[in-house]
């Protein structure tokens, strides 16, 4: 028979194991992380800010790695369908992205190497 005390102990050990696993994952991610410099301002790269327009609206997205993506902040992953389609494209290129309701076409209006609202650091 498992006592309440033993059940609480097991639950705590499981939670600790989960936390330890997350710490190991984050340490490995940091160990192999590389700071990416934008080398060509004419092409969309990770770190670029891209202004696109489709039939409905005009939006500026930041292309980021998978861990940083947050659509509420207009940060899209380079692994997302739109992010993949934008990589290595130029201004005035048209891209088509498959979505569940069909396809969407975007036109690239601008590529900025930094945030469009802050001045570049010296």
pLDDT for the residue numbered 3: 59
C-alpha–C-alpha distance, residues 11 and 100, integer Å: 41
pLDDT for the residue numbered 90: 94
In sequence order, what E strands does the chain have?
Answer: 49-53, 58-64, 75-77, 94-99, 102-112
Put the strands of the sheet holding 58-64 in their side by side order: 75-77, 58-64, 49-53, 102-112, 94-99
pLDDT for the residue numbered 117: 53
φ, ψ of residue 90 to 5 degrees: the values are: -115, 170
SS3 85: helix
CA dist list (Å): 64 to 2, 50, 73, 105:
48, 11, 11, 21
pLDDT for the residue numbered 122: 39
**How do the pLDDT tens digits run along the chain, 122 residues long?**
455 578 888 999 999 999 999 999 999 988 988 777 767 678 999 889 999 998 878 999 999 988 889 999 999 999 999 999 999 999 999 999 998 888 999 999 999 876 555 444 43
DSSP summary character for residue 25:
H
> How buried is 121 (Cβ within 10 angstroms: 0-12 exposed, 13-18 middle, 19+ buried)?
exposed
């Amino acid at each position: 028979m498992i006592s309440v005390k033993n059940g609480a102990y097991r639950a705590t050990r499981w939670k600790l194991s989960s936390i330890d696993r997350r710490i190991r994952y984050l340490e490995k991610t940091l160990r192999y992380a590389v700071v990416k410099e934008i080398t060509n301002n004419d092409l969309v790269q990770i770190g670029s800010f891209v202004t696109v327009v489709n039939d409905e609206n005009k939006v500026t997205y930041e292309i980021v790695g998978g861990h940083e993506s947050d659509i509420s902040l207009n940060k899209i992953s380079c692994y997302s369908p739109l992010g993949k389609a934008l990589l290595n494209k130029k201004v005035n290129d048209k891209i088509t992205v498959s979505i569940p309701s069909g396809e969407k076409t975007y036109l690239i209006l601008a590529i900025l190497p930094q945030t469009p609202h802050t001045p570049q650091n010296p």
